[in-house]
Chains A and B, each alone.
Chain A
Amino acid sequence: MHGFAFYPLHLAHMSLTTCLGAGLQANWKAITNQHCGLKYCDFETVRLDTWIGEVNGLEKVHLPAHLRHFDCRNNRLAQLALEQDDFIPAVQLLAKKYGADRVGVFLGTSTSGILQTEVAYRQRDPHSGALPKNFLYPYTQNTFSVADFVRSYLGLEGPALSVSSACSSGAKVFGVAQRYIACGLIDAAIVGGVDSLCLTTLYGFASLELTSSNPCQPFGLKRNGISVAEAAGFVLLTKAKQEMDEEEIFLLSVGESSDAYHMSSPHPQGQGAQLAMQKALDGAKLSASCIDYINLHGTGTLSNDASEDQAMVALFGTTTPCSSTKGATGHTLGAAGSIEAIITALCLQNDLIPGGLNTLECDPALQSHYLLRNQAQHLKCAMSNSFGFGGSNCSLIFSKMHGVLDKQK
């Protein structure tokens, strides 16, 4: 079974819901208008001096009666995103073509439906300490809940799992799909990321002094932390075929690595990040000069951006255009890898590089070619970076071409 290393997949359909809006069109319009979706934190009972990205209308989402037991903020967000962009009919078409058991569901999430548990802990029986009867752990808090819900909602019977590797989760699912399809386990996969606002991440990142009191300013001189946000994005992936035309978008490769350095701080020189990007380039059989744009992890913390910048400069030098879209969407944690993969695909489709928002002045200590304004430019290949706690790194390369490129090694 040699020769699997290069195995491009076709992005057959996408759907995106963030604090910028529901659906691809709303999101792309906001990005082209350089609109920031963040607001001052007023989530639930949270009292923190920080900014968040909240998806509107989740209280109005009702799960179908037969799946009501899955009801929680995270699964409502998943359903809202599934219902956008004609995603469901696209899945149904492929499920009919290949069989419901030949479509996999691989989703990234960091906290799943933990908000349900956090609220349940306020409603414990004063005598026994028991959690309320209506709290259903398997369908809400458990990390698999979102993949289980999406698989059930779409009536699929193929392999499924949740990847939960913190903020790289939503990127790593693309690798799962690539391997499962290449090994013949399935013919198509729904990958994506769904993470929703909860107390654990808001108070948790605050405890590490990683939340900013302003909208996050990736790569900015005055950056001082992240803006926690929620979002859901889904991509339907199939094998790439020779006859597909040039306006289609393909996943060329997935590069993964571990920092082996620290649980919550990145390697200071970005060694792990560099390794992931290098592996993605190797997987795509591309040299660094073939990458026209990099959608950075760019969270807006001092150490994350400094580390990623070092890795970037080591591999790409200081001229490859890059930006972080977290200034617009916030940091969507376990969903970020998928959200930014979809944004990267939209950039390729529209030949536009989004400028990073909120950052007024780039940190002069960072040498990457970070864009603050949108830039129209013909794009062939682009990379999306996602790095997470535990030193989990993942870089994805997308392209308008799935075959051997001019500059390919």
Chain B
Amino acid sequence: MKMPSIFVEAVGICGPGFTGWAAATTCLQDETLWKLQATVIPMPELLAPSERRRIGLPVKLAIAAGCDALKQTHLSVQSLSTVFASSCADGDNCHPICETLALTERLISPTRFTNSVHNAPSGYWGIAMQARAPSTSICAFDASFSAGLLEAASQCLFNQIPVLLIAYETPYPQPLHDKRPLLESMSIALLLAPQLSSSSQAKLDISMASKPATAMGNVELEKVRMGIPAARGLPLLKLLANKKRGAVVLEYLNPYTLQVELDPIE
């Protein structure tokens, strides 16, 4: 199977040693420049203070990468369709709910319950951006980045509209962390479009493959790729940063991987 080509309009990133796409391109062009640093998640200024008080880490993290990508585009965010891809979604929120439910008095916080839905970032994104466009929230465990990419690409082609993909992940606290260890918080955003435009950065051709996934060159960065489901997209970001024609293979669902061929657009 081979899908028609799609185009990358903008990229966003927030993660360990990554504080936005502009700075990330340098260390993705030369991986030796990348240093492991704790993820710094900015507070989304677009949300009203009342909403800001309610949100948890995953929402802030997802909005961070999305806003980073939006800096590179003039598209109206209100009419921009979004795909939120995450393996675990509500990392910092699930634990206190389960703790409370294990007690005799099970008085869980209504705000925590509201935030426990997998689509909390999508909901808050809509509110922050006043975006009434369609938005979906998906999960495919460690293959969530590739599943999100396929979902965003298929929306882009089917509806002939730009689609913003935001893949994000925050670790669980203990004791869930032992059962699902995730290295750090990280989010990656890709703005995809069905047609070439003056702001297109690259053309992508996605197909199913059976080859093993592409690894990162820097051993520490490879640990990030393997340690966070959203970071499974890093090889593609490296190719985008290098602005060179090439192909990467991304982890997908057994027995397949996804091959992404990239043609940079000057």
Contact = CB atoms under 8 A, between A and B. Distances in A.
Interface of A: 1-2, 4-5, 7, 101-102, 110, 117-118, 121-122, 124, 128-131, 135-138, 142-144, 147-148, 151, 157, 159-166, 172, 175-176, 178-180, 182-186, 199-200, 203-205, 207-208, 256-264, 271-272, 275, 279, 388-392
Contact of A101 (B107, B108, B133, B208): B208
Interface stretch (B25-33, B64-72, B146-154, B212-220): B146-154
A207 B100 CA distance: 12
7 contacts: A162-B140, A165-B135, A179-B157, A183-B4, A184-B2, A184-B3, A259-B126
B4 A200 contact: no
A23 B153 CA distance: 35
Contacts of A138: 141, 180
B266 interface: no
Nearest to A275: B132
B130 interface: yes
Given A179-B155, A258-B123, 19 more contacts: A4-B157, A118-B102, A131-B178, A137-B179, A144-B141, A165-B118, A165-B119, A166-B119, A176-B151, A178-B158, A183-B154, A184-B1, A205-B113, A256-B135, A257-B134, A263-B114, A263-B120, A389-B119, A390-B119
Nearest to A180: B154
B87 A259 contact: no
A164 B117 contact: yes
Nearest 5 A/B pairs, CB to CB: A390-B123, A164-B118, A204-B113, A256-B134, A143-B139
A110 B137 CA distance: 11
B93 to A, nearest CB: 11
Contacts of B187: none
A184 B133 CA distance: 25
B179 A131 contact: yes
Contacts of A5: 158-159
B101 A121 contact: yes
Interface string B147-173: 100110111011110000000000000
B174 interface: yes
Contacts of A129: 174-175
B123 A263 contact: yes
Interface string B177-197: 011100000000000001000
A261 B108 CA distance: 24
B141 A258 contact: no
B158 A389 contact: no
Nearest to A111: B116
B164 to A, nearest CB: 13
A311 to B, nearest CB: 13
B46 interface: no
A272 B132 contact: yes
B77 to A, nearest CB: 11
B88 interface: yes
Nearest to A205: B113
A179 B122 contact: no
Contact of B178 (A117, A130, A260): A130
Contacts of A176: 136, 151, 154
Contacts of A131: 175-176, 178-179
B126 A172 contact: no
A264 B114 contact: yes
Contacts of B135: 165, 256, 258, 392
Nearest to B95: A121
B90 to A, nearest CB: 10
Given A118-B102, A260-B131, A262-B127, A110 B157 contact: no
A255 B160 CA distance: 15
Contact of B101 (A2, A7, A118): A118
A124 B102 CA distance: 10
B247 interface: no
Nearest to A135: B179
A135 B180 CA distance: 11
Interface centre among A142, A144, A161 (most CB of B within 10 A): A161
Interface in B103-125: 106-110, 113-120, 122-124
Contacts of B138: 161-164
A144 to B, nearest CB: 4
Contacts of B133: 257-258
Contacts of B151: 161, 176, 179
B99 interface: yes
Contact of B137 (A128, A165, A264): A165
